[in-house]
Structure 1
Amino acid sequence: MTIKVQELVKEFRRPKRKSGRFTALRTLFSHEYASTRAVDGVDFSIEPGELIGYIGPNGAGKSTTIKMLTGILVPTSGTVEVAGVVPWRERERNARQIGVVFGQRTGLWWDLPLRDSLELVRPLYDLPRQRFLANLETFAGMLGLDQFMDVPVRQLSLGQRMRGDLAAAMLHEPQILYLDEPTVGLDIVAKRRIREFLSRLNRDAGTTVILTTHDLDDVEELCTRVILVDHGKVLYDGDVAELKRQHAPHHELIVHLAEPAFTADIPDVQRTRREDGFVTLTFDPARIAAADLISNVLAVHRVTDLSIVRPKLEDVVADIYAERSP
């Protein structure tokens, strides 16, 4: 179930707005167009069983890329293959091998109980009844659906509805799952449930997961690889830890001293802050291991507490985009 994307471009055209009298009519009948390039020469390949974070700011082209992968949109140029299928040419065949969840929209039937809504998924994929029931029982257990299975979808909380959407997307056992902002607006408990589900799905079933989100805690907890995009272009494609190492190599050791002064002089370590008995030491793990730094501190000082603060992916990505802003 390899996904291959090469030189992918998507442009949206709209009539140029005309000024003067009868503006709407002049615009409507205009033959001049303005183009916006939402995706601009994107290349990547995803192997079976990967769990990828596809991240970037609003307008970066994330959702547009997902819509081309699912066959909803046709690219302006470039190629996409999902397990050997060109999505927009063979939409039905592609639909049978993928699951899709858009966080802002539900695929469930609004006025039906969740159970009936999920039941209507079965004929869409010609699922044998026994296979459907077995899968429903599995996903209901994993996502905790039983307590609200007979509640109309319109009465479900956002977190409950999202869990129902995830079950609906996976009932036909697709090998690829696309998620577009699946945890937007959810509380911490609902987010944890969904993260646990995705991790287990990827680990136990080998499902390939492509996750677009603004919540980089999702990415940091679930993904080892990220594809970072901006203005339709790929800025980075690789390991999460390597991205942090490149852009935020320094960690902090925060030490709570049992004595008034900090006198230890440790090479490759900078003392950056001191307040209320706490001393912050900034270090590069590539130059000195955290364990060695702690040993050096404890050899000189009595310490009541210490902790290591590693750079968060959210801060790293924010800094990257800040550097690119005009």
Structure 2
Amino acid sequence: QLWYHLPPCDTFELLAHVYDIPKPVYCDRLNMLVDRFELGEFMRTPVRKLSLGQRMRCEIAASLLHGPRVLFLDEPTIGLDVVAKRAIRELIRQMNREEGVTVFLTSHDVGDMEELCRRVMIISHGELILDTSVSALRRDYLRFKIVRVRLADAIDRFEMRGVTVAKHKQTNLKLSVDTDVASIDDVLTELMRHARIADITIADPPTEQVIADIYGRGASEALGGR
């Protein structure tokens, strides 16, 4: 909604008229947003000369100018570097926490979902296949476990149904275990048949992998598992 050849301050002034914001309210609101989003140094710089991160901060500030109760954000961190992403996410969290703004976030970046959302909806080919909390997503759909093992003695190879050896170097193994096929207890028992276990860690896969697995199962199975 920013005018490409105009500075952000002109767009904000126009939006104040569009939303019919009283002048005193507009000035107070604008000063707060400029301060919170750190826009002061480029408020009078044409948008075409701003970096992607600067433009995104201005876009979100413009969306908040009239004090909405609901905010729709479409890929707010796309194309941003790690530092800019962190800044945008913190600003969104802050507005949600301090002003009670409900945020609907559309993103292909799982990091956005993990850091910002309490609830997630997954859409595949235009169909809603999952609607749940982020914590329930990880709890209910974690089919695979990542098992890292350090053995007391080296083994030539390890094979077991439901287990994929992702990495094997001398006494160190990284296994991906499909718990629908093989339980962790069974995997450890089989490992101990080959060698003594010196150390072991068991972890969940990244959320991105969990979501990819849900897509892979297909809409009907995901809906049936809710």
TM-score w.r.t. the length of structure 1 is 0.52
In the alignment, what sits opposite 2:92?
198
**2: CA distance, partners of 1:149 / 1:276:** 59
Q: Judge conservation of contact 1:253–1:307 (CA < 8 Å) in 2.
A: yes
Contiguous gaps of at least 5 residues in structure 2: 155-162, 185-195, 220-226
1:175 and 2:78 correspond: no
Q: Which residue of 2 aligns with 1:212?
A: 106
CA change 1:247–1:171 in 2 (3 A) is same
Q: Per-residue deviation at 1:200?
A: 1.1
Distance 1:228 1:218 in 2: 14
Residue 149 of structure 1 is matched in structure 2 by: 43
| Superposition deviation, residue 201 in structure 1 | 1.2
Contact 2:123–2:129 (8 Å) recurs in 1: yes
Q: Which residue of 1 aligns with 2:159?
A: none
How many percent identity over aligned positions? 41
Q: Which has the higher strand share?
A: 1
Are 2:117 and 1:117 equivalent residues in the alignment?
Answer: no
- Matches for 1:127-166 after TM superposition, within 5 Å: 127-166=21-60
Where relative contact order (Cα < 8 A, 6+ residues apart) is larger, the structure is 1
Structure 1 residues 274, 171: closer, same or farther in 2, change over 3 A? same
Match of 2:191 in 1: none
CA contact (8 A) 1:244 1:311 kept: no
Whole-Å separation in 1 of the counterparts to 2:202 and 2:34: 39
Per-residue deviation, 1:320: 2.1
Instruction: Name which of 132, 136, 139 aligns with 1:242.
Output: 136
Amino acid corresponding to residue 47 of structure 2 in structure 1: V
1:128-158 Cα offsets, whole Å, 9 max, x none, are 2222222222222222212211210111112
Residues 274/120 of structure 1: CA separation in 2 closer, same or farther (3 Å cut): same
Superimposed CA distance per residue, residues 17-38 of structure 1 (whole angstroms, 9 cap, x where no aligned partner): xxxxxxxxxxxxxxxxxxxxxx
Query: Residue 204 of structure 2 corresponds to which residue in structure 1?
Result: 310
SS in 1 for 2:34: helix
For the residue of structure 2 that corresponds to 1:229, the secondary structure is strand
Q: Which residue matches 2:82?
A: 188
One-letter amino acid matched to 2:11: S
Equivalent-residue separation in structure 2 for 1:279 and 1:206 (angstroms): 47
Residues matched between the structures, number: 195
**Structure-2 change in CA distance of 1:165 and 1:302 (3 Å):** same
Instruction: Map residues 1-326 of structure 1 onto 2, 5 A cutoff.
Output: 107-252=1-146, 254=148, 260-261=152-153, 274-275=168-169, 277-280=171-174, 309-324=203-218
Cα gap change, 1:215/1:119 in structure 2, threshold over 3 Å: closer, same or farther? same
Unaligned runs of 5+ in 1: 1-106, 263-269, 289-299
Which protein has the bigger helix share? 2
Matching residue of 2:192: none
